[in-house]
Structure 1
Amino acid sequence: MTAATVTRRAAPSARSRGAAPRWARPAFWAVLALATVLHVWALGRNGDANSYYAAAILSGTQSWKAFFFGALDAGSFITVDKPPFALWVMGLSARVFGYGTWSMLLPQAAAGVAAVAVVHSAVRRSLSGTAGHAAALAAALVMTLTPITVAINRDNNPDTVLVLLLVLAGWFCLEAVRDGRTRTLVLSAVLVGLAFNTKMLQAYLVVPAFAVVYLVTAPGTVPRRFGRLLAAGAALVVSSGWWMLIVDLWPAADRPYVGGSTDNSVWDLVVGYNGLGRIFGGQGRGGGAGGGFGGEPGAGRLFNDVMAGQISWLLPFAVLALVCGLILATRRATRAAAPSTGEAAPSRTVPSVTRAPAVREDLPGARAALIMWGGWLAVHYAVFSFSSGTFHPYYSTAMAPAVAALTGLGGALMWRAYRRSRAWAWALPAGIAVTGAWAFTVLRRTPDFVPWLAWAVAGLTAVAAAGLLSARMSRRLRLRISAVALAAGLSAGLAGPAAYAVTPLGSAVNGTNPTAGPAGGGFGGPGGMRMPGGTREGFPGGTREGFPGGTPPGDAAPGAPPSGAAEGAPGGGRGGMRGGPGGSVSSQMIEYLRENRGEASWLVAVSSAQSASSIILSTGQPVIAMGGFTGGDPAMTVDRLKELLSSGRLRYLMPGGGRGGPGGGGGSEVNTWVQTNCTAVAPSEYGGQESEQSSLYRCG
């Protein structure tokens, strides 16, 4: 019987011998309850959240074809610029319960809570005994209170589902390291493949960490490990590529244009807009002016004024915990395996082999977990820090599981070392001091936000560090002093994130770019634009403020504010909506289009998804976004337009002045053809002012 077989068979019994402390289960459920409150409280005020995805979800409830392809409109002219797995999750809920805020966003909130539970389980199974339960609880609490995670889990962007799939994949990867079974590793790869069908190449950022930890720590010979990895790689390719293959093999004339691509293929979307374009930038293909909404690229991006309050609170501690944890786990595992450990000899009635698995369960298991979560964090940090394409702050929610797990695991190992070794007595106090100092710095960047909090954090940090150092000098009171100091350090480290994490509950989410924190800690946009965190001023993709409960489209009374617009909103006054590059769309124009649509499949064609999504959500009718999300997709050509008009499937257009090149939604060729061959509708026909310049054209 091999040592690996003995370890696998003995590991479950080793876990079962360590009964959970009484506080473990109530504390775990309390953290889940906190996560639920943070994700669900006042969720109804978020309306449509990101109207771009909301329109696709609504369209998917009206057409299974639109559902499968992830089309923006029920007529399936163009897809959104992401694969549809997250839309399927929300769309199925909307089909069962009817489209609305709660049916769309509650699955997102549930996914966020589930991710907390999975991280807790993964950490608990990586470290035995009370230490494992304490580490898991700390990890779950950090995950729950990560500000950007709270913000994005109250939205309908795909990142929430992405994170849940990836932490599930990480859980199964660690299980594969423990049990050595190929099927467990294959299941991990399948989950990564589903994550790929949620947000494409971002899902693969965890793959290097998974591969390394399996090669280094899994049981079996090296050739067998490679063989299992090859099997998992095959499963990853199949689970990632099946939807892409179906779409690209489907006749282009019978399916929607692939939004975000230059050649109507998912492959181009993967490699370009959602791939290399995100890393290297480029106008209109995933690029962003000034590094996007997260600030300029560089090693300090995640610590700048935009990102620091979203994700960086515990980054320094996580890195220190990773380094110290790896050293401690490796050294102790080596010493425990050596014959000169100094431990008492095992009883004659118990085979000596039964003692080794308990050590392997504790230390190598923790080491494997530290390698995986550390690799996860390192790859994400490198990509998010230095990518030159569009970078939104909410992308960093994918780092939260790694930060949380490293904080819990490494912190538990540092606490154990602090209690047992004078040589390591400095590590935990140093980590707490660095964390407190960084939290003080971040909080003082916005001095008007809970002004006393920064000083309270500084005081608690000082108490914690001093208490831990002084406790070593008193044997009699060491445990009590160190416990109080540890509690103070934990409070100091989580106070800042907690204060930021509750802010999304107080206002409607910015659906396009959700963030957490005070008004002064906003996000950076193109050209250095700054916006208050958590607000939605002037951004398309906002909530349907006229329908805080998510009133179904078409149910509003005539003249009520349509989706995405309130009184005085840009692009439309009372009863108007943001029209994007095509101009404002008033309720009178919408009513005119309804009455004169005839047998056409689409209500109107507009230049971009920003305009189309608000009309779709306001009316519940299909609307063509000729240029996709940016207005620059070459989805509409003159030949395609002629075909739609001659078949009677389209009658009205608002070509506008989008950013697309020739052939794009706002491109010059389409614009010129429409202006030459179609009739401008006088504003007076739909109740507009005579002095207005017409942006609506009737063709046929």
Structure 2
Amino acid sequence: MVVVAEVRTGRREWTAVGVISAVAAVAWGWALWSRPLQPYYAAAVHSMSHDGTAFLFAGFDPAGVVTVDKPPLAFWTQALGVAVFGFHPWAIALVQVVEGVAAVLVLHRVVRRWAGPRTALLAAALFALTPITAAINRDNLPDTLLVLLLLLAAYGVTRAIDDARWLAWAGVFVGLGFLTKMLAAWIVLPGLAAAYFVAAPGSRGRRLAWLGLAGAVTLLVSLAWPVVVTVWPGAKPFVGSTTDGSVWQLAFGYNGVSRLVGGTTGVGGGYSATVGAALGGDAGPLRLFDAEVGGQIAWLLPLAVVSLVVAACRARGAAPRTKAGWVLWGGWLIVGAAVFSFTGGIFHAYYTAELAPAIAALAAAGLVTASSWSRGRARFVLPAAVAGTAVLAFVLLDRTPDWLPWLRYTVLVLALLAVVAALVRAPRVAAVVGLAAVVAGPAAFVADTAVRPGSVLQSADPAAGPPSTAVLHTVFSDNIGGSAAAGYVRFIDSAYRLSPGQRQVLAFAQTSPADVTLAVEGGSYGAEPFLLNTEARVAPLGGYLGFDPAPSAAQLPQWVAAGKLRFVLLPQVFVDIARAGAGRPTAAAGDAGELTRRVRWEAKHCRPVPPARIGPDAATAGVLLDCGVEL
């Protein structure tokens, strides 16, 4: 690829960028007001929006019992949206849409500096039409902000080739990425560092010195919040999803090594590994193409890889900025794909959203470059690329044969027409029809995601295209039994509704002056309806899944004696699960030690409150235990 000197962005180009951004905003913002979000993080944002301690520590509950399992930056931005508009799911979703559109604009600027305006516009469009990008930007997961920050880091690297001081800003943005999703942000570091090293002017020592400085900045920003949490002198919530309340275990254990190598160590390790493996498919070189992941990210992945290989073969004599672009995006993609393909621990398909910018940039560069080859054997490259991409699209679409059954055949027909047009030397027709063949499948997935009503269960593991909760249902059924699993799924989907029975239980518990008005046993799902619909000091015992020692069974009598806790609610769904699972082991049994010990202590020392004393619907909410009086 030959890149001429950078020129000012003209009105037509800005108009095209605006159109791409507007289409993305519509796709990601459609039905903004009625969208169910991941209730775990939404409840935390509600708590953070009206409690300073929860805001600082990413606390899940306003009572300060436990934090969420991620650092706070993404939730800080969402809490600011709530501060402006009030607490509404659409206010959180709006923040995500704004961050997603900003990522489109930044990607355009980064690619433009590397490969010119045509490639930049195409890359922005391909990124906006990536299914998993649409899925995360319509949810409230931290991945949306993570992608934006990593793109800002890439922009810093491209500017640093001309002015090394920009490399420090790249370090700042990667560090902020760490404060968004911890070690996931560091995946791009090899690509960013290599791009600067191969393209920046000056001696090798000078380039290494600047990289060392940028690395120090990255480390300083990354560790700023963990250090504050560690040295904080006052009371603070227990760090969720850890065994000892250490933020370092969260960063480098639960969200670090455990994700990479798997195993059953840590809080809820066996159950989490079971669920993670089922949701993400088996680790291996073809994971990114499997039934769970392929439809989300794989559409243009072979095209991106082939483009990178061709660029590597033709790299000799390339301009430094051109070489830097290929190294940056190639390193980003290769390292990221390797990590996500072979991760042995918890893995969700939506993690691959981090790969979307690199795939879009490389695929766009490959298509634009191949379209300029009109002589000799090189003129067959574009038809071959379009044909190969169309065949992959057919395979991915064929996995859901009842959804738009005509589309997969349409893609093949469009690809055939593009190949014919290229062979008869009608390049414009070949380019337009070929591009339609390439984007038809992923664009249909994005459109379907925009107009399809969602559910809370799907928001916990967002995916684009034809919906399927079969994997989740299977996991729950294998662990807690079919009928109990169905009840558990209904229970999760009711997170945004506070039932009459739950309202009656809360009103009864509010008669106590305890610091924690109501503790909900078994994890966050039971506490979410209270936190999403009230400002009461309600807290989950055991953190996200109930396995955290937050508090431990040994701490419960201390909490009760100190007046911190009196009422504990055991949601009805867990009573049903216990009955359904009586006499048979479950995959979670080995992880539920602290949960089991707490429940045993509660059963021995707390008295069930008769539902008649609470309200006519109280029994539907579960069993309310009064721990203020010994049996």
The reply to whether residue 642 of structure 1 matches residue 518 of structure 2 is: no
For 1:347, the equivalent position in structure 2 comes to none
For 1:395, the equivalent position in structure 2 comes to 351
Residue 54 of structure 1: how far off its partner (Å): 0.7
| Aligned counterpart for 1:191 among listed residues 139, 156, 173 | 173
For 1:69, the equivalent position in structure 2 comes to 57
| Aligned counterpart for 1:237 among listed residues 198, 219, 228 | 219
Is the 1:294–1:393 Cα contact (8 Å) retained in structure 2?
A: yes
Structure 1: distance between partners of 2:369 and 2:472? 38
Residue 56 of structure 1: how far off its partner (Å): 0.7
Counterpart secondary structure, 2:568:
strand
The reply to whether residue 323 of structure 1 matches residue 309 of structure 2 is: yes
1:341-356 alignment to 2 at 5 Å? none
Residue 389 of structure 1: how far off its partner (Å): 1.1
Structure 1: distance between partners of 2:621 and 2:98? 47
Structure 1: distance between partners of 2:334 and 2:383? 24
The reply to whether residue 613 of structure 1 matches residue 513 of structure 2 is: no
Structure 1: distance between partners of 2:14 and 2:620? 65
Is the 2:520–2:538 Cα contact (8 Å) retained in structure 1?
A: yes
For 1:95, the equivalent position in structure 2 comes to 83
Q: Quick check: 260-269 or 21-30, which moved more?
A: 21-30
Structure 2: distance between partners of 1:525 and 1:373? 37
Structure 1: distance between partners of 2:183 and 2:566? 39
Residue 280 of structure 1: how far off its partner (Å): 1.4
For 1:477, the equivalent position in structure 2 comes to none
Deviation track 1:499-523 (CA, whole Å, cap 9, x = no partner) reads 0001222212522011111146976
The reply to whether residue 254 of structure 1 matches residue 235 of structure 2 is: yes
Closer, same or farther: CA 638–665 of 1 in aligned 2, 3 Å = closer
Deviation track 1:397-454 (CA, whole Å, cap 9, x = no partner) reads 11110111111222222222x13x4242222221111101111111122122112111
Aligned residues: 596
Deviation track 1:243-276 (CA, whole Å, cap 9, x = no partner) reads 001111124x710000011111111111211011
For 1:513, the equivalent position in structure 2 comes to 461
Is the 2:371–2:427 Cα contact (8 Å) retained in structure 1?
A: no
Q: From the two aligned structures, give the one with the greater helix fraction.
A: 2
Closer, same or farther: CA 602–666 of 1 in aligned 2, 3 Å = same
Q: Quick check: 597-606 or 242-251, which moved more?
A: 597-606
Closer, same or farther: CA 661–289 of 1 in aligned 2, 3 Å = closer
Counterpart secondary structure, 1:697:
strand
Deviation track 1:618-651 (CA, whole Å, cap 9, x = no partner) reads 3321222221112111221244323322232321
For 1:424, the equivalent position in structure 2 comes to 378
Give the gaps of 5 or more residues in structure 1. Answer: 1-10, 334-359, 472-480, 531-535, 546-560, 563-574, 577-584
Structure 2: distance between partners of 1:693 and 1:612? 11
Structure 1: distance between partners of 2:591 and 2:387? 57
| Aligned counterpart for 1:311 among listed residues 297, 302, 306 | 297
1:16-27 alignment to 2 at 5 Å? 16=7, 20=9, 23-27=12-16
Closer, same or farther: CA 50–411 of 1 in aligned 2, 3 Å = same
Counterpart secondary structure, 2:339:
helix
In terms of Rg, which structure is larger? 1
1:215-294 alignment to 2 at 5 Å? 215-251=197-233, 254-283=235-264, 284-285=268-269, 287-289=273-275, 291-294=277-280
Is the 1:116–1:144 Cα contact (8 Å) retained in structure 2?
A: yes
For 1:136, the equivalent position in structure 2 comes to 120
Is the 1:321–1:407 Cα contact (8 Å) retained in structure 2?
A: yes
For 1:164, the equivalent position in structure 2 comes to 148
| Aligned counterpart for 1:600 among listed residues 498, 510, 515 | 515
| Aligned counterpart for 2:406 among listed residues 449, 452, 460 | 452
Structure 2: distance between partners of 1:690 and 1:77? 25
Deviation track 1:191-241 (CA, whole Å, cap 9, x = no partner) reads 001010111111110011112222222211111111111101110111000
Structure 2: distance between partners of 1:101 and 1:691? 29
Is the 2:34–2:90 Cα contact (8 Å) retained in structure 1?
A: no
Closer, same or farther: CA 520–58 of 1 in aligned 2, 3 Å = closer
For 1:295, the equivalent position in structure 2 comes to 281
Counterpart secondary structure, 1:696:
strand
The reply to whether residue 86 of structure 1 matches residue 70 of structure 2 is: no
Structure 2: distance between partners of 1:270 and 1:137? 36
Is the 1:46–1:543 Cα contact (8 Å) retained in structure 2?
A: no
Structure 2: distance between partners of 1:218 and 1:665? 54
Which residue identity lines up with residue 461 of structure 1 in the other structure? A
Residue 590 of structure 1: how far off its partner (Å): 3.0
Is the 1:460–1:489 Cα contact (8 Å) retained in structure 2?
A: yes
Residue 15 of structure 1: how far off its partner (Å): 2.0
Closer, same or farther: CA 375–365 of 1 in aligned 2, 3 Å = same
Residue 89 of structure 1: how far off its partner (Å): 0.3
For 2:448, the equivalent position in structure 1 comes to 503
Which residue identity lines up with residue 125 of structure 1 in the other structure? R
Counterpart secondary structure, 2:230:
helix
For 1:40, the equivalent position in structure 2 comes to 29
The reply to whether residue 369 of structure 1 matches residue 325 of structure 2 is: yes
Q: Quick check: 646-655 or 208-217, which moved more?
A: 646-655
Residue 470 of structure 1: how far off its partner (Å): 2.6
Is the 2:514–2:566 Cα contact (8 Å) retained in structure 1?
A: no
Counterpart secondary structure, 1:72:
coil
Structure 2: distance between partners of 1:543 and 1:186? 46
Closer, same or farther: CA 78–27 of 1 in aligned 2, 3 Å = same
Q: Please, what is the CA RMSD of the aligned residues?
A: 2.6
**How high is the sequence identity, in percent, across the aligned residues?**
38
TM-score (norm 2): 0.89
Closer, same or farther: CA 645–544 of 1 in aligned 2, 3 Å = closer
Residue 597 of structure 1: how far off its partner (Å): 3.2
Is the 1:148–1:310 Cα contact (8 Å) retained in structure 2?
A: yes
Residue 326 of structure 1: how far off its partner (Å): 3.3
Residue 287 of structure 1: how far off its partner (Å): 2.6
Which residue identity lines up with residue 604 of structure 2 in the other structure? T
Is the 1:607–1:665 Cα contact (8 Å) retained in structure 2?
A: no
| Aligned counterpart for 1:174 among listed residues 158, 163, 170 | 158
For 1:686, the equivalent position in structure 2 comes to 614
TM-score (norm 1): 0.80
Closer, same or farther: CA 375–522 of 1 in aligned 2, 3 Å = farther
For 2:599, the equivalent position in structure 1 comes to 671
Which residue identity lines up with residue 625 of structure 1 in the other structure? P
Structure 1: distance between partners of 2:144 and 2:72? 13
1:622-661 alignment to 2 at 5 Å? 622-654=537-569
| Aligned counterpart for 1:414 among listed residues 345, 363, 370 | 370
Counterpart secondary structure, 1:227:
helix
Which residue identity lines up with residue 327 of structure 1 in the other structure? C
Q: Quick check: 631-640 or 400-409, which moved more?
A: 631-640
